[in-house]
Amino acid sequence: MERWSTRLADGRELIYYAAAGGARRAAEAADGRRLGGAAVVSEVRFDPLRGEPVAYAAHRQGRTYLPPDGECPLCPSRGGRRTEIPAADYEVAVLENRFPAFAGGDGRCEVVCFSAEHGVSFAELTPERVALVLWAWTDRTAALGRLPGVRQVYCFENSGTEIGVTLAHPHGQVYGYPYVTPHTARALRAVAEHRERTGANLYDEILAAERADGRRVVRESARWIAFVPRAARWPYEVHLYPRRRVPDLMSLDEEERAEFPEVYLDLLRRFAGLFGPAHRDTPYIAGWHQVPAGLVAREREDFALHLELFTIRRGPGRLKHLAGSESGMGAFLNDVLPESAAHQLRKAAP
Residue 106: the pLDDT is 87
Residue 37: the pLDDT is 65
Residue 219: the pLDDT is 96
Residue 61: the pLDDT is 85
* Pair 98, 12: CB distance under 8 Å: yes
DSSP structural state of residue 88: S
* Pair 265, 123: CB distance under 8 Å: yes
DSSP structural state of residue 306: E
Question: What is the chain's pLDDT, residue by residue, as a tens digit (350 residues)?
Answer: 899 999 999 999 999 999 988 999 999 999 999 987 667 888 999 999 999 999 999 888 878 888 998 899 999 999 999 999 999 999 999 999 999 999 777 899 999 999 999 989 999 999 999 999 999 999 999 999 999 999 999 999 999 989 989 899 999 999 999 999 999 999 999 999 999 999 999 999 999 999 999 999 999 999 999 999 999 999 999 999 999 999 999 999 999 999 999 999 999 999 998 987 766 688 999 999 999 999 999 999 999 999 999 999 999 889 999 999 999 999 999 999 999 999 999 999 77
Same topology, domains 2-177 and 182-347? Answer is: yes
CA contacts within 13 A on the Cβ side of 274: 30
- 13 closest CA partner among 27, 33, 34: 27
Show me where the domains of the chain are located.
2-177, 182-347
Residue 279: the pLDDT is 62
Return the active site residues: 171
2-177 — its CATH code? 3.30.428.10
What is the pTM (predicted TM-score) of this model?
Answer: 0.96
Residue 336: the pLDDT is 95
* Pair 181, 152: CB distance under 8 Å: yes
Distance between CA atoms of residues 233 and 229, nearest Å: 9
Q: Among the CATH numbers 3.60.40.10, 3.40.50.1820, 3.40.109.10, 3.30.428.10, which is that of 182-347?
A: 3.30.428.10
